[in-house]
A and B are shown apart, each in its own frame.
Chain A
Amino acid sequence: MPAASHGDVDLSDSSSNARRRALSQFLAGVEVRAFRIAQTALRHEDDALDAVQDAMLQLARAYSERPAQEWPPLFYRILENRIRDMQRRRTVRNRVMSWLPFRPDPDEEEPDPIAGAASDEPLPVRRLEIDESMAALQQALEALPRRQQQAFMLRTLEGLDVAQTALAMGCSEGSVKTHYFRALQTLRATLGDLHHEP
């Protein structure tokens, strides 16, 4: 930093640098889990990446000066709003597209050659079992009502407590408990006992 090279001690600069580092650590810590949450809700990788990126930008622009302990619920609140916006847009787009005589097939997207490349790593039986369990869980999660899915993902994957989850979802703690309990009930009924614990 230029200030440091001149030997000046700029408290505001050092404070903003510390805050920037803290924000960077926070975002680095949550970004992949947030992506999985968005991916489960949107069922589309690129849309999920866009939603997480928008949430990061919004948090950095508007709330970077807020205390760090407020960031998790704020970030997931923003992310949830973005997910909802995308779902609404998708609904409108699908309605419009359904009226068109010719519409592109979403399955005809060009495949990513890197993602589709065969891996040299052999897939052991164990890996296949875990993948099967995860596929079943993913399908069951996607079938959950949105609020139940949200409560379950924030509590189980992100590890937010009930109060933080309530802040992120914009509802009461009692509602969080209800959504979470119902989500668990549905998942248990759908999946039964998972035989393959990773």
Chain B
Amino acid sequence: MSRDLNGTTGFERQLQALLQDSVQRVSGHARSRLNQARHAALAEAVRPGRGNLLRRLTTRGGRRLLWMPAAGAVAAGVLVAVLLWPRAHQPYPAAEASHATVEDLDLLADRDGMGLLQSGDGQFYEWAMAQSDKSPPAGSDGPDKGSGAGRGGDTNSG
């Protein structure tokens, strides 16, 4: 060991010898625990994947920067999928809404219906109400067919 200070060599040698002696006299219990700790550390060093991951995260900052956006994108994708998943599997409200919108447009575009409203003839509506109160015949596609026949009959008679 190099000495950079003069005049203390003998004293240092004495201190060093005392400290070395105290090292030799460390208890068996402590040595046993140190031995176990060393083996645990060595097992940690050779554990597959653990060292590589930590090395990427700690010693190679550049790779860490490449890692984090990819992980963030995957996490965001999963989050969006989870949020949108229930709505994607509810086709009925959307289909009904679009169907109702088409029917409304169809009614508005129906010149015959507007003609009936403008003529003030309520006979068709009374008839339609009566038809809807009756139960439809079994297996028939009745309401559309019946109403269409009624409408056609009234319009024809009118």
Contacts and interface: CB of A to CB of B under 8 A. Distances in A.
Interface of A: 16, 20, 23-24, 27-28, 31-33, 35-36, 45, 49, 52-53, 56-57, 59-62, 64-65, 112, 114-115, 130, 133-134, 137-138, 153, 155-157, 159, 161-162, 177, 180-181, 184, 187-188, 193-194, 197-198
A62 to B, nearest CB: 6
Contacts of A112: 29
A157 B8 contact: no
A62 B38 contact: no
B1 interface: yes
Contact of A65 (B8, B20, B34, B51): B51
B22 interface: yes
Q: Majority SS of interface residues in chain A? A: helix
B46 interface: yes
A76 B11 CA distance: 25
Q: Majority SS of interface residues in chain B? A: helix
Contact of B41 (A59, A134, A188): A59
Nearest to B46: A20
User: How big is the B interface, by class?
Assistant: 35 or more
Contacts of A56: 37-38, 40-41
A155 B2 CA distance: 10
Nearest to B58: A62
Contacts of B50: 61
Given A32-B26, A156-B16, A194-B14, 15 more contacts: A24-B42, A36-B22, A49-B30, A57-B37, A57-B44, A60-B44, A60-B45, A62-B55, A112-B29, A137-B19, A155-B1, A177-B5, A197-B13, A197-B14, A198-B21
16 contacts: A23-B41, A24-B38, A24-B42, A27-B38, A32-B30, A53-B40, A56-B37, A57-B37, A62-B54, A64-B45, A137-B15, A156-B16, A157-B20, A197-B14, A197-B18, A198-B21
Interface string B92-129: 00000000000000000000000000000000000000
Closest 3 CB pairs of A and B: A53-B37, A60-B45, A56-B41
Contacts of A60: 41-42, 44-45
A35 B4 contact: no
B140 interface: no
A134 B37 contact: no
Contacts of B16: 156-157
B11 A188 contact: yes
